[in-house]
Amino acid sequence: MSQQPRLFGLTPTGERIELPELAEIQLCWDEGLPVSLVLAPEHLSGQSFSLEIGSEEDASDHITEFGSFVLRPGACNVVDVSIELAPMPSCDH
């Protein structure tokens, strides 16, 4: 038995497409801070998804903090919503 993808998208023509490997959608505008829609974020416990928005930059225009609008499944027919601020993780490559 094959495993069903957990995520689907709709094209402008209404075609339903499978998105089995999609984990994050990044929106980058010409102006303003980038936004990411993160499905099952690793830094949050339990089932959730978050809309993460850069909220603070340093003098070099690097984002140092981000705000998250987080949705988690709650009790029957309920969704828990929270707004959280977190420092950007350091990127040591």
pLDDT per residue as tens digits for the range 44-90: 777 888 888 877 677 777 777 778 888 888 777 777 888 877 776 65
Q: How far is CA 49 from CA 23, 40, 57, 58, in A?
A: 10, 5, 24, 27
Q: Is 33 exposed, middle or buried (0-12, 13-18, 19+ CB in 10 A)?
A: middle
Q: What is the pLDDT of residue 14?
A: 93
Is the pTM value of this prediction over 0.75?
A: no
